[in-house]
Amino acid sequence: MSEIKISKYYSSQENTSDLNFEYDTESLRPAWIHVKDKNFNARFLSITTNTDSEIIYKKFTGNFYYPVDLIINKKDEKER
């Protein structure tokens, strides 16, 4: 599993670099992401991976996020 980075999220908070989170490391794409900050409140977030893909996650319960069935590969997007 490649290391992931939260690139954007839809919240009143602005800085993604300070987010303390963990994620599923056993899958090709994380099956879940857990943001440890209890005050964090975002409906969606997106991550980027080493493969240059962007994956959108939706909040489920607490601060657990699960992938939406939409994967955007920047290389494929340019070819469209």
Per-residue pLDDT of the chain (80 residues; tens, 9 = 90+): 567 777 777 655 555 567 889 998 888 788 899 999 888 888 888 888 777 778 889 998 888 999 986 555 666 555 54
Q: How high is the pLDDT of residue 80?
A: 43
| pTM of the predicted model as reported, rounded to 2 decimal places | 0.68
pLDDT of residue 33: 92
Check: CB of residue 48 under 8 Å from CB of residue 14.
no
What stretch of H or E contains 66? Answer: strand 64-73
Number of Cβ within a 10 Å radius of residue 6: 19
Contact (Cβ atoms closer than 8 angstroms) between residue 18 and residue 35: no
The SS3 assignment for 2 reads: coil
pLDDT at position 70 is 54
